[in-house]
Amino acid sequence: MNNNSRKFGTAPVFFTAISTILGAILFLRFGYAVGTLGFWGVILIILLGHLVTIPTALAISEIATNKRVEGGGEYFIISRSFGLNIGATIGLALFLSQAISVAFYVIAFTEAFEFFFNYMLENYGMVLPRQAISIPVMILLAILIIKKGANLGVKTLYVVVAVLLVSLVMFFMGNTGHAEASTFGLMNAQLRNPHEFFIVFAIIFPAFTGMTAGVGLSGDLKKPSRSIPLGTTVATLTGMVVYVFVVWKLAKSASVEDLLENQLIMSRIAVAGAVVIPLGLAASTLSSALGSVMVAPRTLQALALDQALPSPRINNWLGKGTEKDNEPVNASLVTSIIAFVFVAVGNVNAVASIITMFFMVTYGSMCLISFLNHFGSSPSYRPSFKSRWYISLLGFIISVWVMFKISTPFALLSFAFITGIYLYINYYHKSRQGFASIFANALFQLNKNLQVMIQKKQTKKEKREWRPSAICISKDSLKRDKAFRLLNWISYKYGFGTYLHHIVGYYSKATAIKAREELKKLLEHVDSVENHVYIDTLISPSNTSAIAQAIQIPGIAGMENNMVIFEYDKQQPINLEEIIDNFALVNSGDFDICILGSSNREIPYNKGIHIWINSLDTENANLMILLGFIILGHPSWKHARIKIFNVCNSKDYEMTKKSMNELVQTGRLPISEKSIRLLVHDEDVPVKTIINQNSGNAGLTMIGIREELVKREKEKLFDGYDELGTILFVHSKDNKSIE
């Protein structure tokens, strides 16, 4: 689009919005609302409605001053903040609402000709349907907007707003006998029928939706960042003030019966009301229809230019504009056809609530975008006009709350419809999956604040509840995945895990590129599983330096890492020597150490977890039992059980049995006595042989190890378990209490 096409200033934004705000609902339904709820009831509706529209107006003003707003108005703002797929989803719903609104306003326009329908009935006995006027008007409106475009619409707006202003002035100048005899005042104003509040709110709320009408002209504005905030905000506040005075005038000037029975009660109050009020109604509904018929095609055109629809041919056709000023001719044609269908039906009451829902979704989205941008604190978010995060959050919450208060079924239907559109669009645009960076920025800020808060809290605690925050380092990530699986089991429900793929070498441009490629492969590799582990790469020249770097990094959960997991291949334990050499390095910190001996056998989960303990090794025993229960929390182990094997001398058998039973009975060992086996250690039979005989078929076997044995026996400590599958050797830094 060339610069010459951006020809409008602030006035069209204001007039488009105010002519829609002071539209059909004001003339046709405010009397009914005052009659039903009383003065204070309608004032509450106005206040509640503006608790949605004012935060939205401020949010739009804020976002519009942060970045250049192109064609598409609200759609452009949403899509550039939430991403194209979600933006297209809400944009399509918004377009349908705008297109159907054209029909709504055209049908309301026919009410200005009530005198004509009455005349035909009284003089000729003809009961004319409203379509006798609404269909020709819709055809004429479609021809004019397709032929003349926004230029005609904006020129007409000035005339319409002038007529609207005159009709309102005449209304406020009017007087009635009821007004002269009335003692109405703020002190005796009524609030009636509170149980019908949200029923009336649903009828009145479309009056508030005109607030964003001018935003749809964003592609035709010289300076959207100035015109949108100024025009939208002034129109919203002006509309609210006019509403309050209209409600006051109605409550003072007519009886409850007249307000309920005569939908054009304003014509009986205004000076020359029989002429000026129908004229004002005609002007307001026509202007609202013009506003919607100008805005809706531009929303559809912007969707098409973003290739939001699945068919490239349809996108190209709908995105086409005139050479002179890029008027969306084809999009205007589609809008007119949709509006014509609903005008022909003649009754949009059935879809009025769902239209309201779609507008509420749009307003809630705007407020959510503003809130997330405030909360995310992105350096690129620097609007010249700033709202407040709590105002935007309030607007979002009230939007959602009001949707369900108006109609829970329609609210659920709206969400279901929008979800269906999103799934459909996402199916064709898989490459555009995911939320935009606005969510990431907010999550980063939340994570930062939580980590700082947790660190402050932990420094004040003498005793902390233990839970695993494990870090695993492996060079063989793409060869064997059991270490990753172990970390994922631990992290699924109770713990936290960081998996580091070690790339041997010095940090350079080449190794950095390799690290990114390896990380991408790893993430693709685990994409098919439910992953709860944070994965990253670590470039370091040696295993020792990699470990030294890794144990100093902060935990992914905001708490310090307290466990290090190593892994080696049982059949080819090439890296076992490196693990043993670095055992003392890790043990010098406050880390529990787990060494996973991976077997090439598949893990038989249903065979359970076998834990081997002895009475002289309570530190490792408690950690292994806790890890066993943590691992069983993963769905892969849902049919598995823990079996505890306690090897003791014959002389200690009874004492050990009594001790174990006490643990079970007090609940500190939450398993049954049947799951505990006491084995007497015959000095002629090695313990490793006993373990091989009893745990050959176990899904996972846990064995405790001590630092002095690792130093003395080295690789021999891990040999001799040929009958077992995957083994987890566990060394606890301190005693973990089982509460």
Summarised one tens digit per residue, pLDDT across range 215-229 is 655 556 677 667 777
- What's the pLDDT score for residue 513? 93
Q: Which has the closest alpha carbon to 97: 418, 406, 456, 398?
A: 418
Strands 676-680 and 642-648 come out as parallel
φ and ψ at residue 8, rounded to 5 degrees: -100, 150
Question: Which of 287-291, 298-302, 481-485 comes out lowest in average pLDDT?
Answer: 287-291
φ and ψ at residue 724, rounded to 5 degrees: -85, 155
Contact 75, 216 (CB under 8 A): no
Which pLDDT band holds residue 310 (cuts at 50, 70, 90)? confident
pLDDT at 206 over 80: no
- What's the pLDDT score for residue 4? 45
**pLDDT (mean) for 433-445:** 60
What's the Cα-to-Cα distance from 729 to each of 174, 497, 732, rounded to whole Å?
92, 18, 10
Nearest 5 degrees, angle CA 542-CA 545-CA 549? Answer: 135
Does residue 402 or residue 147 have the better pLDDT?
A: 402
Rounded to whole angstroms, the Cα distance separating 368 from 373 reads 8
pLDDT at 136 over 60: yes
Rounded to whole angstroms, the Cα distance separating 501 from 599 reads 20
Among the residues of 72-149, which ranges form H helices?
A: 74-82, 84-110, 114-124, 131-148
For the chain, give the mean pLDDT: 81
Supply 416's token pair. 């279901």
Contact 292, 20 (CB under 8 A): yes
pLDDT at 698 over 80: yes
Domains of the chain: 3-431 (1.20.1740.10), 463-731 (3.40.50.12370)
Rounded to whole angstroms, the Cα distance separating 638 from 547 reads 33
Q: What is the pLDDT of residues 413-425, one digit of tens each?
A: 878 887 888 888 8
What's the Cα-to-Cα distance from 175 to each of 170, 257, 268, rounded to whole Å?
10, 18, 9
Residue with tokens 């939001």, as numbered in its chain: 308
pLDDT at 315 over 50: yes
Supply 584's token pair. 């003392």
Alpha carbons within 13 angstroms on the beta-carbon side of residue 573 total 21
Which pLDDT band holds residue 464 (cuts at 50, 70, 90)? low
Estimate the crossing angle of helix 273-305 against helix 312-319, to 10 degrees.
130
- What's the pLDDT score for residue 305? 87
10 Å Cβ neighbour count for 517? 12
**pLDDT (mean) for 129-141:** 80
- What's the pLDDT score for residue 199? 81
Beta bridge partners of 563: 470, 592
Does residue 33 or residue 218 have the better pLDDT?
A: 33
Output 520-526 pairs: Cβ under 8 A, ≥24 positions apart.
Answer: 521/478, 522/477, 522/478, 525/478, 525/481, 526/484
Q: What is the pLDDT of residues 491-548, one digit of tens each?
A: 888 888 899 999 999 999 999 999 999 999 888 888 777 888 989 999 999 989 999 9
φ and ψ at residue 642, rounded to 5 degrees: -95, 135
Rounded to whole angstroms, the Cα distance separating 593 from 565 reads 6
Question: Which of 282-291, 415-424, 706-715 comes out lowest in average pLDDT?
Answer: 282-291
Q: Which has the closest alpha carbon to 105: 297, 232, 287?
A: 287
- What's the pLDDT score for residue 667? 52
Which pLDDT band holds residue 8 (cuts at 50, 70, 90)? low
Our measurement of the distance from residue 684's CA atom to the centroid of its chain's CA atoms, rounded to an integer in Å, reads 65
Q: To 10 degrees, the CA torsion angle through 7, 13, 14, 15?
A: 80
Rounded to whole angstroms, the Cα distance separating 250 from 467 reads 66
Residue with tokens 């176990």, as numbered in its chain: 698
Question: Which of 56-70, 237-251, 323-337, 389-403 comes out lowest in average pLDDT?
Answer: 56-70
- What's the pLDDT score for residue 25? 80
Q: What is the pLDDT of residues 36-56, one digit of tens each?
A: 998 999 999 999 988 988 898
Alpha carbons within 13 angstroms on the beta-carbon side of residue 96 total 17
DSSP letter, residue 714: G
Does residue 98 or residue 38 have the better pLDDT?
A: 38
**pLDDT (mean) for 630-645:** 90
Which pLDDT band holds residue 724 (cuts at 50, 70, 90)? very high
10 Å Cβ neighbour count for 8? 23
Alpha-carbon torsion (275, 20, 322, 317), positive or negative: negative
Q: Which has the closest alpha carbon to 500: 549, 440, 562, 429?
A: 549
Which pLDDT band holds residue 459 (cuts at 50, 70, 90)? low
Question: Which of 330-344, 461-475, 504-518 comes out lowest in average pLDDT?
Answer: 461-475
- What's the pLDDT score for residue 2? 45
Sheet holding 592-598, edge to edge: 534-540, 496-504, 469-474, 563-569, 592-598, 727-731, 700-704, 609-613, 642-648, 676-680
Contact 322, 149 (CB under 8 A): yes
Q: Would the pTM count as exceeding 0.85?
A: no
- What's the pLDDT score for residue 155? 63
Q: For the purposes of burial, counting CB atoms within 10 Å of the CB of 457, is it exposed (0-12), middle (13-18) or buried (19 or more)?
A: exposed
- Cα diameter, the chain: 120
Question: Which of 12-16, 242-246, 386-390, 453-457 comes out lowest in average pLDDT?
Answer: 453-457
Written as one letter, the residue type at 11 is A
Q: Which has the closest alpha carbon to 553: 617, 614, 500?
A: 500
- What's the pLDDT score for residue 610? 95
Rounded to whole angstroms, the Cα distance separating 677 from 682 reads 15
Contacts (Cβ under 8 Å, ≥6 apart) of 322: 149, 329
Of 189-193, 209-213, 583-587, highest mean pLDDT: 583-587
Residue with tokens 């079924």, as numbered in its chain: 409
State what percent of residues in the chain have pLDDT above 90. Answer: 22
Does residue 458 or residue 25 have the better pLDDT?
A: 25
- What's the pLDDT score for residue 117? 78
